[in-house]
Amino acid sequence: MTYLRKLYVRAFLCSLVSLLVTLTYIRLFEQELLDWNDYGTYTIARPFIPDTLFYLELVNTPEWDLTTLAATNIKNGMAPALLWGVANGDWYRMALISVIIAFVGLVYVAKICQHFSVPRLRALRAITLIGLLPAVWYFSVGSLKELPTMTALAGFFYHHVKRQNLASLLWGVLLVSIRFQLAAVLPLFVFASFYAKQPLRTSAIVLIICSAAFPIFASLNILSLDVTAIFREQAGTESNLGAALENLRDTVPGVSAVVVGIRVVQSVLEPLAASFTEGFLFEAGIPSILGFASLSTLLLTLPAWYRILVNIVRGLRTTLPLDIQRLYALILFYAVPVGGFSFIHGRYMFPLTALVVVGAIFRVRGRVPKRVRSNRLQPPRLAHT
């Protein structure tokens, strides 16, 4: 059996497990999924992300179509709403669609691993970890943006480094249709990737400049900061310290870059920090599925997040193979705007999970000679962990 075929089989088996878990979950709590509201008394809390009900309501309106969705100005909700339409509003069909989307993402993870000549055993471990994460099961309940965005990021990156421009463009358009804010950063990533001698350093510099100038964007009111402030107020997610950091980020140029970095770390660690607060793991004594899925997923992937941070910091001081630089650059271009420019919410960082797990396989050690331009790893200074 060839390298890719073994990875595809593992991806299929993981997706099959995910489908069985998700369908069983929906069957066990079907009545609560159908009748859930914010005020009822149930055996579980947060059985799904409430946003998916809003997307479902959009396609339940008579004679809905693309024009109707566009007129609602929901922007980031168009893709989930369309998926509900494909599933005809059925939770079981939607679970199948979500698992298929996750499977496609795992297929691209396999292709990326082959591109980087990742040893088969480590590639199998990466696919297994990603495919069986509790968050994958949880986000398969209903239609949401997290799984499509994760898959689209993997597809976009793979075709980008393979110089398959049309396929890369199509995945990029899909990414923007799922999360429209990426329309501002994907062109910057492509420019840095193709025209910079050091894509990682160039990307870091661009993002630092944008972060330092964040108060200018805030004053122009182009980031919908009032909307995020209302959300935080309603959710009760912002502490006094958090509010102070927000104020520095929004009003003090230069210092805002430091705050953005802090906010990115906070966004990654949000499930862990929230687990110490009341109502995250248990709401009125009822287990929260969202809380347990988010925390367990973070704990399983936290070593990968740590390794990515170390690799990027070290990579800024070295000359890494170009495609590895591009991988880390894309992670930065997603993590900084999504995690640093908006309010803290751990699930917004979930779409990076696949790229983070793959990027964490490599271990950056010391300096790599400037003449290195190969996509393959250069042991011992750049090796697999």
Q: What is the DSSP string of 225-280?
A: HHHHHHHHHHHT---HHHHHHHHHHHH-TTHHHHHHHHHHHHHHHHHHHHTTSTTS
- Burial (0-12, 13-18, 19+ Cβ within 10 Å), 120: middle
CA distance 319 to 325: 9
Instruction: Specify the higher pLDDT residue, 52 or 360.
Output: 360
Instruction: Specify the higher pLDDT residue, 322 or 243.
Output: 322
Nearest to 294 by CA among 133, 127, 70: 133
Domain limits of the chain? Answer: 3-384
Task: Select the highest-mean-pLDDT range: 38-47, 101-110, 220-229.
Answer: 101-110
| Model pLDDT, residue 120 | 95
Task: Select the highest-mean-pLDDT range: 8-17, 49-58, 86-95, 268-277.
Answer: 8-17
Q: Is the pLDDT of residue 324 over 50?
A: yes
| Model pLDDT, residue 367 | 55
Q: What angle do CA 380, 384, 385 make, to 5 degrees?
A: 110
Q: What is the DSSP string of 273-323?
A: HHTTSTTSSEETTEEBHHHHHHHHHHHHHHHHHHHHHHHHHHHTTS---HH
Q: Is the pLDDT of residue 217 over 90?
A: no
- Tokens in use for 58? 């959009």
| Model pLDDT, residue 69 | 57
pLDDT band at 291 (very low <50, low <70, confident <90, very high): very high
Q: Is the pLDDT of residue 229 over 60?
A: no
Q: Is the pLDDT of residue 150 over 90?
A: yes
Nearest to 9 by CA among 82, 103, 143: 103
284: which residues sit within 8 A by CB, 6+ positions away? 45
Give the mean pLDDT of 142-158: 96
Minimum mean pLDDT among 91-95, 225-229, 303-307: which range? 225-229
CA distance 179 to 351: 11
Nearest to 332 by CA among 168, 169, 199: 199
| pTM for this predicted structure | 0.88
Helices (DSSP H) in the chain: which residue ranges? 3-28, 30-35, 51-60, 66-71, 78-86, 91-115, 120-131, 134-139, 146-161, 165-178, 186-195, 199-212, 214-219, 225-235, 240-251, 255-274, 289-315, 322-335, 353-359
Using DSSP's 3-state secondary structure scheme, residue 339 falls into helix
CA distance 143 to 331: 24
